[in-house]
Structure 1
Amino acid sequence: MFQQHSVTPAGHGPASAEPAAPCASATPVVPGFEHRRVQVADGVALHAAVGGSGSPIVLLHGFPQTHLMWRHVAADLAADHTVICPDLRGYGASDKPADPDGTAYSKRTMAADVVELARALGHERFALAGHDRGALVAFRAGLDHPAAVTHLACLDVLPTQDMWEVMHGVDAAVGFHLYLMAQPPGLPERMIAAEPDLFFGHFLDLWGGDRAAIPPAVRAAYLDACRAAVPSVVADYRASAGIDLEHDRADRAAGNVLTMPVTVLQQDWGAALGFDARALWSAWAPQLAHRTVDFGHFMAEEAPERVAGELRKLLAR
């Protein structure tokens, strides 16, 4: 998908980052951003698009996408912020380590990647926004690294513990993939790898409110990336039925909450599944601004001006 350029850290010191050469392919890019490959853990480097100047904000993509989902919002925010858009570990052009013990794709591990990425780029403190899977990583970063995350936005997701608690009955069939990828290693990977474009394309078609928001070249880039990442995408989801749930339950039992200002943008899932999203989020985020929106799941592409505007409001808090 992108040309890859390894960066070797000096000794065992801080992670290093170097500009990558411009992409030689016609793959869509975030306008005006440069591509970097940053070492964030032993054997793991993230690909990131970086642009703009000013106070930093990191934008984390969802499933089944890459950092490209932020292309419009990132270009807007770059007018007065340093914007960092990585591919999460296991996705896009970032590394995809094996997961022998079920921890390589825990949201705790992936959140640590993000904090190290920002630090390697010179930012000890930063705002953080995530969509879908990226929002779960952002949520965990906010809980585990409150000194680093100044502001937090989560788009169209529920925290892991709450998500599993509200899924029930036939109305939960829309989340069949959560249960499929929660199965032990082997079966889900083989099933998805047999028809990856059909599987991942299903969600791009089903969840979007405006298909024109994801043009053919971007859709093709998403499918190319997912086709090459089936085991790691499954491992990411499998973690949410195991270690991620354990971490959320431990934080809930300890009374841990998000201490920074939080904005949540969310479709009205509660109407179908019978829950109050604002109430669920309020239990985690005392400084919550919750917005119910009327556009589709891929909101950063369907309504980028609205999303960028909400992020600016968050950063002003």
Structure 2
Amino acid sequence: MFEGFATHRIAASGTEIFLCTKGEGEPLLLLHGYPQTHAMWHAIAPALAERFTVVCPDLRGYGDSGKPPSDAAHATYAKRTSAMDMVEVMAALGFGRFMAAGHDRGGRVVHRMCLDHPERVTRAAVLDIVPTRTLFRATDQAIATGYYHWFFLIQPEPLPERLIGADPSFYLRENLARWSGSRDMRWVVPEALAEYERCFSDPATIHATCEDYRAAATVDLAHDEADLDRKIACPLLVLWGEQGLMHRHFDVLATWREKASGPVEGTALPCGHFLAEERPAETLEHLLRFFALH
């Protein structure tokens, strides 16, 4: 799926990050979401690499990246920690400043990176999310039903780990179908699905990804509360699926304009949650245009 990409393992603070790279242009960091890996970018990363130096990592706890032991405060898997991973990885590759796009959990890491390291991120894109604090504060029965996993995964260890671990493939496939615009799963290619299943079958990945969500409901919220006055300064692109929960329950663009001091643009695409796989051509078109403005 990533023909011609070089693979690397780079040490970050307390873990090791697996990634693949290709291209010679301006650096562009692509961050995946739950329950996937960097493989989610397979349909568009090669085309982006014709214009940019593309860096596709697995977030800590996901894929082939390290899965450091969790802590009681969930800080090991805080978005602040993951954002620092990515700043360190990009620095190790020789990129002090770069552009970044993140889907789902990766979008939350991009948001935190823009706040903590504004001197590093020159342009940013977030795909199919609203800010974490915004979602929690708006949660009602409909949101809790549609995004049930936010509240399932934050339950104390080992409840979600044991239940998911009983049949990881079923859990993975059910949620990919549930959150997409097409339950028949024709949008996910067999090679990508096999990669998701390979990685998600590891009990360490199941635990680490639960910790990602536990962090979102605790330490990430504390960081967000402390930074209410801080804004995303760089230009921001927002894309989301018009068949997804974000579109049904939020004015997605407005939620991000509240969090940014710089220009914000964006639109909905005719799909569910997994934009880069459900609608790769349209997603690629928007990312190419936006990041080429750099």
TM-score surpassing 0.5? yes
Residue 314, structure 1, aligned to residue 286, structure 2: no
Q: Where do residues 176-215 of structure 1 align in structure 2 (5 Å cutoff)?
A: 176-210=148-182, 211-215=185-189
Give the Cα–Cα distance (whole angstroms) in 2 for the partners of residues 128 and 271 of structure 1. Answer: 23
Say which SS state the counterpart of residue 77 (structure 2) adopts. coil
1:271, distance to aligned residue in structure 2 (A): 5.6
Give the Cα–Cα distance (whole angstroms) in 1 for the partners of residues 238 and 207 of structure 2. Answer: 29
1:95-139 deviations in Å (ceiling 9; x for gaps): 001112311000000000000000000100000000001111111
Residue 267, structure 1, aligned to residue 241, structure 2: yes
Corresponding residue number in structure 2 for 1:283: 258
2:172 is matched by which residue type in structure 1?
F
Given that 2:107 and 2:127 are in contact with CA atoms closer than 8 Å, whether structure 1 keeps it comes out as yes
Aligned length: 285
Q: Where do residues 238-257 of structure 1 align in structure 2 (5 Å cutoff)?
A: 238-252=214-228, 255-257=229-231
1:89 is matched by which residue type in structure 2?
R
Runs of 4+, deviation exceeding 3 Å: 268-272
Residue 72, structure 1, aligned to residue 43, structure 2: yes
Corresponding residue number in structure 2 for 1:231: 207
Residue 110, structure 1, aligned to residue 56, structure 2: no
Corresponding residue number in structure 1 for 2:110: 138
Give the Cα–Cα distance (whole angstroms) in 2 for the partners of residues 64 and 48 of structure 1. Answer: 17
Residue 151, structure 1, aligned to residue 114, structure 2: no
Larger Rg: 1
Q: Where do residues 52-91 of structure 1 align in structure 2 (5 Å cutoff)?
A: 52-91=23-62
Give the Cα–Cα distance (whole angstroms) in 1 for the partners of residues 157 and 247 of structure 2. Answer: 34
Give the Cα–Cα distance (whole angstroms) in 2 for the partners of residues 146 and 271 of structure 1. Answer: 28
| Gap regions ≥5 residues in structure 1 | 1-28
Corresponding residue number in structure 2 for 1:92: 63
Corresponding residue number in structure 2 for 1:6: none
| Gap regions ≥5 residues in structure 2 | none
1:230-279 deviations in Å (ceiling 9; x for gaps): 10010011111111111111111xx1000000001012435633x32222
1:198, distance to aligned residue in structure 2 (A): 1.4
Give the Cα–Cα distance (whole angstroms) in 1 for the partners of residues 226 and 236 of structure 2. Answer: 21
Give the number of the structure with larger relative contact order, counting CA–CA contacts within 8 Å between residues 6 or more apart. Answer: 2
2:281 is matched by which residue type in structure 1?
E
1:206, distance to aligned residue in structure 2 (A): 1.4
